[in-house]
Structure 1
Amino acid sequence: MGGSEPADQLRVAPVADEAPGYAVETFSYPDAAKILAEQGITLKRGDGHILLVPCGSETDLLEVWARDRDKVCFKVTGSSGFLSLDVPAVFAIKGNDYSTSVDMTVGTEQKSFDLLKNAWTSVGEATDPEGRDHALVEITAKR
């Protein structure tokens, strides 16, 4: 072996003590707890292409109208996006330039609505014969 130690006494030392950690993307919405506390909206997870923004901050926003709250606006970026959220008592949404669909829940039922581009779409309780509260639970958009 060419060394001064007998082969049965050779030791192998690790090059590094530990392997580097792994980054795991959870797709959780940043500052979700703060947004819930300040606005009463639960933003769960998404791909980063549908973002909560101040209404009136720019054009081509999705505008969500719900009872007992100010409108809530979202900006869509890129070629597609999704956002899982919870906004209670939604009755209308104004679409933007994207083909957008929303999923809503009422009790144990789930309902989907395709939004009109750049126009208002009645959704949730506005379309329900019983006028029940519908929560907006997902937004999906694509070019």
Structure 2
Amino acid sequence: MKVRSTVLRITATAVAAGALAWAAIAGGVPGGSSHDPLATKAVAEEGPGYAVEDFAYPNADKILAEQKIKLKRGDGHIVLAPCTGAPELMEVFSHKSEKVCFKVTGDKGYLSLEIPSVFGVKGNNYAAEVEMTTGAEQKTFPVDKNAWTAVGETADDQGRDFMLLEIRTSK
């Protein structure tokens, strides 16, 4: 009998310890307070925040102030570049600003922007199209590879003023 009572005592202790461990892991001791050392708390309350990419164009405010070009957002594959005349650059011509150039990388690119009074685009070795607006009307113009393309007022039979809103490229 003595062996049997010892086995029962050991088993009961093990079961109690297991139940306590399970309670602590699964959600704390029932009725435990925030001062209870066995109480648990959510890790998310203490962890660092998440970085969320909003695809906003870096330094857009500074570029707007200095160059009067409103760069909104994109995928990072079409970026503002100095106009050096290099053949890999896409060039945008506007009556309101000097020539604006963009470097294109990757297989596809997207950039949302605002450049008023755009009348021409010189393409590079990417297939490209530009989305433009005049008043309430939006138009998409395909851009010729490595050549000058008339867009906006120069491609409009009424000669209306167009604003460039988007550039999309692909290989």
Normalised by the size of structure 2, how large is the TM-score? 0.76
Change in Cα spacing, 1:91 to 1:8, as seen in structure 2 (3 Å) is closer
> What 5-or-longer segments of structure 1 have no aligned partner?
none
Q: Which of 82, 94, 105 pairs up with 1:77?
A: 105
Secondary structure of the residue aligned to 2:153 is: helix
* Percent of paired sites with the same residue: 53
Change in Cα spacing, 1:8 to 1:77, as seen in structure 2 (3 Å) is closer
Query: Residue 96 of structure 2 contacts residue 116 of structure 2 at CA under 8 Å; is this kept in 1?
Result: no
1:138 — aligned with what? 166
1:104 — aligned with what? 132
Deviations 1:43-95 (A, max 9, x none): 00000000000000743100000013210000000111000000000001000
> What 5-or-longer segments of structure 2 have no aligned partner?
1-15, 21-28, 33-37
Q: How many residues of Structure 1 are paired with residues of Structure 2 in the alignment?
A: 141
Q: Which has the higher strand share?
A: 1
CA-based RMSD: 2.0
1:14 — aligned with what? 41
Matches within 5 A, 1:1-143: 1-2=16-17, 11-14=38-41, 16=43, 18-56=46-84, 58-143=86-171
Of the two, which has the highest radius of gyration? 2
Normalised by the size of structure 1, how large is the TM-score? 0.90
- Read off the aligned partner of 2:106 and give its amino acid letter: G
Change in Cα spacing, 1:142 to 1:67, as seen in structure 2 (3 Å) is same
Change in Cα spacing, 1:2 to 1:40, as seen in structure 2 (3 Å) is same
C-alpha distance in structure 1 between counterparts of 2:133 and 2:31, whole Å: 69
